[in-house]
């Protein structure tokens, strides 16, 4: 049984996709896709022998070793161009996901969907995607425990950026009226307030510069919140 985060990730896989789950760890998504006959080809990879072994064991236990292929190695280095059309990279920092994509350019050419779930640095990941001519097709928030996770679905294409704050608050969450958006943006507002309070205590040039940046962010987050509330009416 998948938890809400993994279930939401699996729900973004197009039926019949040829998929690679990069950094699979437990192998839960590949097993779910195979058991429900949702994908035409499934490759589960991990850089860590110990992590991949968990997936190998689960695949064997579920008698799915004729359907799911497991591969040991870093990022997209273990995938050949044209081998898959969909890639999941989830549960890692945004910088790591970005470097996996960057180093896997030769594979990305033939990919029609990226399903990404950064644990942090989602703004850096979105910036990279837009710079590399990926469009953000869909975004959703998922709550598991106390944490809200961001899922980003992208494909080749150009992305209009109206305001840089979209790299942080997402391109689709407001228009999709994501049910967790208010909680998500409130979390950012509270964090920014705390940072501003700390910066007020310092009297350096750097602190003043940061202060400007965070006051602007705070204003944009509040605007996004009000915009969302307006759409709800
Ligand atoms: C926190 S787990 C996330 C597992 C799963 N994707 C999820 O979302 O639940 C991160 C996994 O990524 C793997 N990993 C880290 N860097 C990697 C890389 N460059 N290539 C492939 N796997 C990597 C780790 O070994 C670990 O198993």
Residues 82, 110: contact at Cβ < 8 Å?
A: yes
Burial class (CB in 10 A: 0-12, 13-18, 19+), 116: buried
Distance separating alpha carbons of residues 55 and 17, to the nearest angstrom = 20
**pLDDT values of the chain reduced to their tens digit, one per residue, 233 residues:** 899 999 999 999 999 999 999 999 999 999 999 999 999 999 999 999 999 999 999 999 999 999 999 999 999 999 999 999 999 999 999 999 999 999 999 999 999 999 999 999 999 999 999 999 999 999 999 999 999 999 999 999 999 999 999 999 999 999 999 999 999 999 999 999 999 999 999 989 999 999 999 999 999 999 999 999 988 88
pLDDT at 211: 95
Report the alpha-carbon distance of residue 221 to residue 227 in Å, rounded. 10
Pick the atom of ligand 1 nearest to 89's CA.
6
Distance from residue 48's CA to the centre of ligand 1 (Å) = 8
Nearest ligand 1 atom, CA 119: 1
Mutate-to-test residue for ligand 1 from 47, 50, 107, highest number of ligand atoms within 8 A of CB = 47
d(CA 139, CA 171): 7
Nearest CA to ligand 1 atom 7: 91
100 CA to centre of ligand 1 in angstroms: 11
| Residue list, ligand 1 pocket, CB within 6 Å | 22-25, 45-48, 51, 74-75, 90-92, 96, 100
Looking at the DSSP bridge assignments, the partners of residue 61 are: none
Side-by-side strand order, sheet with 147-156:
68-72, 39-46, 17-22, 86-92, 113-118, 147-156, 134-144
- For residue 70, how far is its CA from the centre of ligand 1 (angstroms)? 13
User: What is the residue with the minimal CA distance to atom 27 of ligand 1?
Assistant: 25
Cβ proximity of 114 and 121 under 8 Å? no
Q: What is the model's pLDDT at position 232? A: 82
pTM here? 0.97
In the block, tokens 């980003």 appear at 152
Whether the Cβ atoms of residue 109 and residue 122 lie closer than 8 Å to each other: no
Q: In angstroms, what is the span from residue 159 Cα to ligand 1's centroid? A: 28
What is d(CA 122, CA 97) in angstroms, rounded to the nearest whole number?
10
């Amino acid at each position: 049984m998948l938890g809400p985060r993994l279930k939401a990730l699996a729900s973004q896989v197009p039926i019949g996709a040829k998929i690679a789950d990069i950094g699979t760890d437990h192998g839960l998504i590949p097993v779910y896709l195979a058991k429900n006959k949702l994908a035409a080809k499934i490759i589960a990879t991990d850089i860590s022998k110990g992590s991949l072994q968990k997936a190998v064991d689960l695949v064997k236990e579920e008698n799915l070793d004729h359907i799911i292929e497991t591969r040991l190695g870093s990022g997209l280095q273990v995938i050949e161009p044209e081998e898959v059309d969909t890639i999941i990279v989830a549960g890692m920092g945004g910088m790591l996901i970005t470097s996996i994509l960057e180093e896997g350019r030769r594979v990305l050419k033939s990919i029609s969907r990226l399903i990404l779930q950064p644990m942090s640095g989602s703004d850096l990941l979105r910036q990279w995607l837009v710079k590399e001519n990926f469009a953000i097709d869909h975004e959703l928030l998922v709550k598991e425990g106390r944490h809200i996770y961001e899922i980003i679905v992208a494909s080749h294409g150009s992305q209009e950026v109206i305001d840089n704050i979209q790299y942080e608050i997402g391109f689709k969450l407001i228009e999709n009226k994501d049910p967790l958006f208010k909680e998500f943006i409130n979390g950012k507002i509270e964090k920014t307030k705390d940072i501003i309070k700390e910066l007020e205590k310092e009297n350096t040039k750097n602190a003043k510069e940061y202060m400007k940046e965070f006051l602007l962010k705070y204003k944009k987050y509040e605007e996004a919140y009000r915009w969302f509330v307006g759409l709800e009416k």
